[in-house]
Amino acid sequence: MRKRYTPKQKAQIVLEMLKEERPITQIASEYGIHPHQLYKWKTQALEGLPRVFEDDHKGEKTLQAANERKLQELCAEIGRLNTQLTWLKKIWH
């Protein structure tokens, strides 16, 4: 059975590689990972690095838009319920 590494573990190993204090073969041997896999993780990390610096407000804007849609839905529901309540009051009075 192969060992699975969490994203955090992979990141720590890649950081160790980037320090260049030890050869990749030594790191691979220590963790029991083929050097090719380590190079693959390193490539993935470096390719994903720009996303870390993307607009931080992008997520906030998406959340705000979702909240506004939900607010409109709730206001519409309140309007429907008020209409039903008014109608029911007329029937029972």
Predicted TM-score (pTM) of this structure = 0.57
CA torsion 33-36-42-44 (nearest 10°) is -110
In tens, the pLDDT along 5-54 reads: 999 999 999 999 999 999 999 999 999 999 999 999 999 999 998 888 77
What pLDDT is recorded for position 56?
A: 67
In tens, the pLDDT along 79-91 reads: 999 999 999 999 9
Burial class (CB in 10 A: 0-12, 13-18, 19+), 37: middle
Those residues whose C-beta lies under 8 Å from the C-beta of residue 18, and which sit 6 or more positions away, are 42
Those residues whose C-beta lies under 8 Å from the C-beta of residue 31, and which sit 6 or more positions away, are 13
- Split at pLDDT 50, 70, 90, the class of 58 is confident
